[in-house]
C-alpha cells in the first residue's frame, strides 16, 4: 500500500538507513575525487576497499582492538595506493586498466587471506553507536543523525574537510593545478609526481577506511566480495558530484535514500517485482543527472600520464 510509505516511522527509517548506507561511498568517493582532481583515474577502489575491510576485520578479531583494525586498514589501503601511484606515475601505465588490475588483485587477495587465515565467516563487535545526551533524544532527528557510529560521523566530517583542503589551501590549489595543467604546474615548481603520489595514497587510505566502515562498524562481518560493486558506484558518484565533496555527498545520499526506499517498498508489500525495485537507485541516479544537466568539466589532465618537458 503506497500510503503506508508516508508515515513517520518509514521516513525516519529511510533517512537513518540512507545515512548509514552512504558512509562507505563517502570515504571511497572523496578519496577518488582527490585522485581525479590531480589527474588520476583509479578504478581499483573496490579492491582497496576489500583489502581494507579484511585487514580491519582480521586485526580487530585477533587483537580485539577496533582502532588497530582501522589503522591496519588505512595502512593496507595506503600501500595499495602506493603501488598504484608507482605504476601510474612512474611507469605511465594506462590508469583505467591498472585500476582494473588492482581491483582484481584486491578481490582475489582479500578472499585468499580470508580463506587461509579465517576459513569461515565470523563476527566482531564493531564500533558502537554513540549516544549523545540530549541530541540523541530528539524524536526522529535524534535517531537519524545522532545515533550512529564513529565512522559515520567521520564520513560526514570528511565532506567539509575535503572541501576546505581542495578549495582553501595551497595544497588544494596544487592538486587542482596538477590535474588541470600539469605542464604549467611543473614550470611553477610544483612536483606533479609528488602531488599525484600524495592524492593516490590518500585515496587508497580513504578506501581502506571505507572497507573498514563496512567490516568493523556497519556490518561487523567479513565475507568474500562483500563490497559487491560498491567501489564502482563510488567512482560513479565522483562524476555525479562533479568532483565537489558536497556534490558527492548529494549523490551518495540520493543513491542511498532511493536504495532504502526500495527496501521499504518491498517490506511494505507494495506490489512491484523485486528486480525492478532493486533497479531504482541506478535509474534514478541517471535520471537526476540528466534532469540537472550540469556543465562541470572534468579535470583536463584526467587519466593522462605526465611526462616532463616534451
Is there a contact between 24 and 210 (Cβ–Cβ < 8 Å)?
yes
Window 27-86: residues binding another protein (CB under 8 A): 43, 47, 55, 58, 76, 79-80, 82-83, 86
Q: 138 vs 296, which CB is nearer to another protein? A: 296
What are the cell numbers at 65?
582492538
138 near another protein, judged by CB under 8 A: no
Q: 172 vs 303, which CB is nearer to another protein? A: 303
Strand partners, 305: none
* Residue of the chain from 29, 89, 107, 254 that contacts another protein (CB under 8 A): 107
Q: 10 vs 159, which CB is nearer to another protein? A: 10
Q: In the complex, what is the shortest distance from the CB of residue 277 to another protein, in angstroms, rounded to a whole number?
A: 8
* Residue of the chain from 211, 260, 301, 306 that contacts another protein (CB under 8 A): 260
8 near another protein, judged by CB under 8 A: no
Window 279-308: residues binding another protein (CB under 8 A): 279, 282-283, 285-286, 289-290, 293-296, 298
Q: 188 vs 278, which CB is nearer to another protein? A: 278
Of 49, 20, 34, residue with least CA distance to 253: 20
Q: In the complex, what is the shortest distance from the CB of residue 221 to another protein, in angstroms, rounded to a whole number?
A: 5
273 near another protein, judged by CB under 8 A: yes
CA distances from 20 to 28, 76, 116, 255, 280 (A): 14, 24, 31, 12, 18
Q: 112 vs 184, which CB is nearer to another protein? A: 112
Q: 79 vs 173, which CB is nearer to another protein? A: 79
226 near another protein, judged by CB under 8 A: yes
120 near another protein, judged by CB under 8 A: yes
Stretch that binds another protein, among 106-114, 133-141, 152-160, 163-171 (CB under 8 A): 106-114
* Residue of the chain from 57, 239, 257, 306 that contacts another protein (CB under 8 A): 239
Window 192-221: residues binding another protein (CB under 8 A): 214, 218-221
Q: 150 vs 263, which CB is nearer to another protein? A: 263
Q: In the complex, what is the shortest distance from the CB of residue 169 to another protein, in angstroms, rounded to a whole number?
A: 27
13 near another protein, judged by CB under 8 A: yes
Query: 3-state SS string over the chain?
Result: CHHHHCCHHHHHHHHHHHHHHHHHHHHHHHHHHHHHHCCCCCCCHHHHHHHHHHHHHHHHHHHCCHHHHHHHHHHHHHHHHHHHHHHHHHCCCCHHHHHHHHHHHHHHHHHHHHHHHHCCCCECCCCCECCCCCHHHCCCHHHHHCCCEHHHHHHHHHHHHHHHHHHHCHHHHHHHHHHHCHHHHHHCCCCHHHHHHHHHHHHHHHHHHHHHHHHHHHCCECCCCCCCCHHHHHHHHHHHCCCCHHHHHHHHHHHHHHHHHHHHHHHCCCCCCHHHHHHHHHHHHHHHHHHCCCCCCCCCCCCCCCCCCC
The dihedrals phi and psi of 136, each to the nearest 5 degrees, come to -70, -15
Window 152-181: residues binding another protein (CB under 8 A): none
Q: With contacts defined by CB under 8 A, how many residues of the chain interact with another protein?
A: 95
Q: In the complex, what is the shortest distance from the CB of residue 91 to another protein, in angstroms, rounded to a whole number?
A: 5
Amino acid at each position: 500500500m503506497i500510503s503506508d510509505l508516508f508515515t513517520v516511522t518509514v521516513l525516519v527509517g529511510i533517512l537513518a538507513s540512507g545515512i548509514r548506507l552512504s558512509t562507505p561511498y563517502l570515504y571511497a568517493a572523496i578519496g577518488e575525487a582527490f585522485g581525479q582532481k590531480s589527474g588520476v583515474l583509479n578504478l581499483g577502489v573496490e579492491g582497496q576497499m576489500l583489502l581494507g575491510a579484511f585487514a580491519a576485520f582480521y586485526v580487530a578479531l585477533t587483537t580485539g582492538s577496533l582502532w588497530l583494525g582501522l589503522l591496519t586498514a588505512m595502512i593496507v589501503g595506503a600501500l595499495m595506493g602506493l603501488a598504484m601511484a608507482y605504476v601510474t606515475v612512474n611507469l605511465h601505465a594506462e590508469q583505467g586498466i591498472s585500476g582494473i588490475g588492482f581491483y582484481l588483485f584486491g578481490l582475489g587477495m582479500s578472499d585468499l587471506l580470508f580463506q587461509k587465515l579465517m576459513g569461515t565467516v565470523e563476527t566482531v563487535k564493531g564500533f558502537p553507536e554513540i549516544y549523545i545526551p540530549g541530541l540523541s533524544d530528539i524524536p526522529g532527528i535524534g535517531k537519524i543523525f545522532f545515533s550512529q557510529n564513529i565512522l559515520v560521523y567521520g564520513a560526514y566530517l570528511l565532506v567539509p574537510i575535503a572541501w576546505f583542503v581542495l578549495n582553501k589551501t595551497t595544497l588544494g590549489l596544487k592538486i587542482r593545478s596538477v590535474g588541470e595543467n600539469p605542464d604549467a604546474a611543473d614550470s611553477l615548481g610544483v612536483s606533479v609526481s609528488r602531488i599525484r603520489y600524495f592524492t593516490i595514497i590518500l585515496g587508497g587510505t580513504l578506501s581502506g577506511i571505507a572497507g573498514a566502515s563496512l567490516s568493523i562498524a556497519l556490518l561487523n562481518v567479513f565475507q568474500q566480495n562483500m563490497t559487491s560493486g560498491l567501489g564502482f558506484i563510488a567512482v560513479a558518484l565522483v562524476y555525479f558530484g562533479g568532483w565537489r565533496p558536497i556534490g558527492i555527498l548529494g549523490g551518495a545520499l540520493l543513491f542511498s535514500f532511493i536504495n532504502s526506499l526500495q527496501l521499504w517498498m518491498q517490506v511494505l508489500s507494495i506490489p512491484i517485482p523485486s528486480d525492478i525495485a532493486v533497479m531504482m537507485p541506478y535509474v534514478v541516479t541517471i535520471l537526476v543527472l540528466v534532469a540537472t544537466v550540469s556543465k562541470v568539466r572534468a579535470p583536463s589532465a584526467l587519466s593522462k600520464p605526465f611526462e616532463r618537458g616534451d
